[in-house]
């Protein structure tokens, strides 16, 4: 109770929540991880974060940073610990259009940043379904991906500098605005993706990009994924890498969407096994200027390519969005994936990546292996096809922990054989502890543990996450 009193001295009574008041921090978004924290603390400044961390170190109480709490791997699970919420640290300190950067605090909601930079005809291109609640600290902590990685890269590629509160309570200022800074170890990348196990990110300098003047967005059905990859490569070459999203939604995913939402529409009158959402973003005026007949060059180009491929049989059907409303409908179909995953009940949530030309082989082998292991199991796939990231969720008929672990290992075996990774963008948290223990190179794990011990000798920063016991 002395710790609670001291926390209140630091941030004020209103910003230390306990018991029923801390309920929002006692359960993650998926409902898979529950546990009441000692207290939920909402500091309003970097100085207050530092003071909380110093107190936690003295008291030996672990600290778990919480951003939007939209993760899927239990990274914010904080039973008996201090859940340190960054929601009050939500200022966009600066948008510098000439330098194409923004200085933001860790509690800034992703969609809030999108809206702020759009006024400058710029974009912060990270996007996914939870953008209305996910916060900058969380996306940095997990090195989040999303649907536009194909063009812009993961969160790590979008960050220039960081401000971090270390486990000692010291504030490390890495808030560089430089594209090039070769002065020693790249500590910034050490904290991005560390899920708060090495320190708490409190602010960042992020990169911005020109807002496309026009989009060409379409739903496409193809006979197989090899045809889809050929289409992607052709569009990338012809547009100079302007393909922003290339998202795979097979028939099983479309069926799940329709079953979940009675208002949802199928992308085509006919039903196809392989459906892909493609979006091209045009920044050059020649590709975006509206012609007298109302057409936009980038849309016309996409229509021409798809028509030619329908003629040759490499595309079965296509629908190009002719309005912003149609574009948003296409995106909504893809961005409901997280909701569909949770709605299916407790399942094995995988987040793997394989080489682009191995996606079809992975899916075929996974289908066969799942059916052989558990004929009554259900599964759903959605994929960032353009970067080889596959979200396969499996609902075994046996809901025991052993059955779920066995299904996860089954997927890991296939991924490893194809030269892939068991974790692409969701982070490790608690959910992939077994995968880390089984699949991560032992030497790499040893180095990670050494880094953890050096920076956090008291083990107070989000213990039990990322590194397996």
Tokens representing 223? 């006979």
For residue 17, give the H/E element and its range: strand 16-17
H runs (alpha helix) in 102-250: 110-118, 136-142, 149-152, 187-191, 225-239
Per-residue pLDDT of the chain (469 residues; tens, 9 = 90+): 699 999 999 999 999 999 999 999 998 888 888 899 999 999 999 999 999 999 999 999 999 999 988 888 889 999 999 999 999 999 999 999 999 999 999 999 999 999 999 999 999 999 988 899 999 999 999 999 989 999 999 999 999 999 999 999 999 999 999 999 999 999 999 999 999 999 999 999 999 999 999 999 999 999 999 999 999 999 999 898 999 999 999 999 999 999 999 899 999 999 999 999 999 999 888 888 887 777 788 999 999 999 999 999 999 999 999 999 999 999 999 999 999 998 888 899 999 999 999 999 999 999 999 999 999 999 999 999 999 999 999 999 999 999 999 999 999 999 999 999 999 999 999 999 999 999 999 999 999 999 999 999 999 999 999 999 8
Enter the DSSP assignment of 166: -
Full-model pTM: 0.92
Q: Nearest Cα to 220, choosing from 257, 256, 239, 247?
A: 247
What is the three-class DSSP state of 440?
Answer: coil
Tokens of 401: 């922990």
**Token pair recorded at residue 31:** 């409902």
Contacts of 71 (CB under 8 A, 6+ apart): 28, 29, 138, 142, 426, 427, 429
Q: Which two tokens stand for residue 51?
A: 């003071």
Rg from Cα positions in the chain:
23
Taking the CA atoms of 428, 433, 437 and 443 in sequence, report the sign of the dihedral they define: positive
Q: In which residue are the tokens 């991005």 written?
A: 192
* Burial of 265 (C-beta count, 10 Å sphere; 0-12/13-18/19+): exposed
Within 13 A of 20's CA, how many CA atoms are on the CB side? 0
At a CB cut-off of 8 Å and minimum separation 6, what does 11 contact?
41, 42, 43, 44, 48, 52
What 3-state DSSP class applies to 68?
coil
Contact 323, 313 (CB under 8 A): no
Q: Please, what are the domains in the chain? A: 2-87 (3.30.43.10), 92-210 (3.30.465.10), 214-337 (3.30.70.2190), 346-432 (3.30.70.2740)
Residue with token string 């003295």: 58
d(CA 245, CA 277): 7
């Amino acid at each position: 109770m002395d710790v609670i009193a001291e926390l209140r001295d630091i941030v004020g009574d209103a910003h230390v929540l306990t018991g029923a008041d801390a309920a929002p921090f006692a359960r993650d978004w998926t409902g898979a991880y529950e546990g009441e924290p000692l207290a939920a603390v909402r500091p309003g400044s970097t100085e207050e974060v530092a003071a909380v961390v110093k107190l936690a170190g003295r008291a030996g109480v672990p600290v778990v940073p919480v951003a939007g709490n939209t993760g899927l791997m239990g990274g914010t699970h904080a039973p008996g610990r201090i859940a340190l919420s960054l929601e009050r640290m939500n200022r966009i300190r600066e948008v510098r259009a000439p330098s194409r950067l923004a200085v933001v605090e860790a509690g800034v909601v992703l969609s809030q940043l999108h809206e702020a930079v759009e006024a400058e005809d710029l974009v912060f291109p990270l996007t996914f379904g939870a953008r209305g609640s996910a916060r900058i600290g969380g996306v940095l902590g997990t090195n989040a991906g999303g649907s536009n990685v194909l063009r812009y890269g993961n969160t790590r590629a979008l960050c220039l500098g960081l401000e971090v509160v270390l486990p000692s309570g010291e504030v490390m200022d890495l808030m560089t605005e430089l594209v090039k800074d070769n002065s020693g170890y790249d500590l910034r990348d050490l904290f991005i993706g560390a899920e708060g196990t090495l320190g708490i990110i409190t602010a960042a300098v992020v990169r911005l990009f020109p807002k496309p003047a026009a989009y060409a967005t379409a739903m496409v059905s193809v006979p197989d994924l090899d045809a889809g990859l050929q289409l992607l490569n052709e569009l990338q070459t012809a547009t100079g890498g302007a393909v922003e999203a290339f998202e795979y939604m097979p028939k099983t995913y479309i069926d799940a969407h329709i079953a979940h939402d009675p208002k949802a529409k199928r992308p085509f009158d006919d039903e196809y096994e392989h459906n892909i959402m493609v979006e091209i973003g045009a920044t050059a005026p020649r590709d975006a200027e509206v012609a007298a007949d109302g057409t936009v060059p980038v849309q016309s180009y996409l229509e021409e390519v798809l028509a030619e491929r329908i003629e040759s049989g490499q595309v079965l059907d296509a629908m190009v969005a002719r309005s912003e409303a149609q574009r948003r409908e296409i995106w909504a179909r893809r961005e409901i994936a997280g909701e569909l995953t949770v709605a299916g009940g407790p399942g094995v949530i995988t987040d793997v990546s394989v080489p682009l030309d191995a996606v079809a082989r992975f899916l075929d082998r996974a289908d066969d292996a799942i059916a052989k292991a558990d004929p009554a199991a259900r599964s759903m796939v959605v994929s960032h096809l353009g970067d080889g990231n596959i979200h396969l969720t499996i609902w075994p008929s046996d809901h025991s922990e052993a059955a779920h672990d066995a299904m996860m290992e089954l997927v890991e075996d296939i991924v490893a054989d194809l030269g892939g990774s068991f974790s692409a963008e969701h982070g490790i948290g608690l959910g992939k502890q077994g995968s880390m223990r089984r699949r991560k190179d032992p030497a790499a794990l040893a180095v990670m543990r050494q880094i953890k011990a050096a920076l956090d000798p008291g083990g107070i920063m989000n213990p039990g996450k990322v590194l397996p016991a």
